[in-house]
Amino acid sequence: MTALSLRNRIDELPRLERWLREFAERHGMAERDLYAVNLVLEELFANVLEHGHDDPDEHEIVIRLQVVERDLHIEFEDDGREFNPVNVPAPKLDVPLAERSVGGLGVHLVKSFVDHLDHRRSNGKNKLFLVKKAVVAAEL
């Protein structure tokens, strides 16, 4: 398992992207899978920045990646306010944009790009567990 500790600052995004690309190259991930995982992690990170904390203090966000057989297991941990994306209902995409309620599209995006999503709240932290199946080349 490999881990990255980030601060809740937007200027950490390039570091997250570099770290993820290096991981993907080491494990032979296809570009489309790298794109999907990067999008998921950026969305989760942005949600913590936007909605996670009421104070201006720095907080730690920890991302852990592990390959299990050919699947990518992701843990995303933050100490922001409790939020369980598993319980967020799917947005009504067939409704005209002007009639839709604000929010929910990012969570929908995350759910659509992973094969499994689970949430736990433990010791004041949100812990998301995500799985993206078959992202590692079979011959590795």
Rounded CA-CA distance 1/137 in Å is 18
40-76 residue pLDDT tens: 999 999 999 999 999 999 999 999 999 999 999 999 9
Task: Please state whether 69 falls in left (phi above 0), alpha (psi between -120 and 50) or beta.
Answer: left
| Residue 108 three-state SS | helix
- H-helix or E-strand containing 62? strand 60-68
C-alpha 38/C-alpha 32 separation (Å) is 10
pLDDT at 113: 95
pTM score, whole prediction: 0.88
Task: Render pLDDT for 12-51 as a digit per residue (tens, 0 to 9).
Answer: 999 999 999 999 999 999 999 999 999 999 999 999 999 9
Could you tell me the domains of the chain? 2-132 (3.30.565.10)
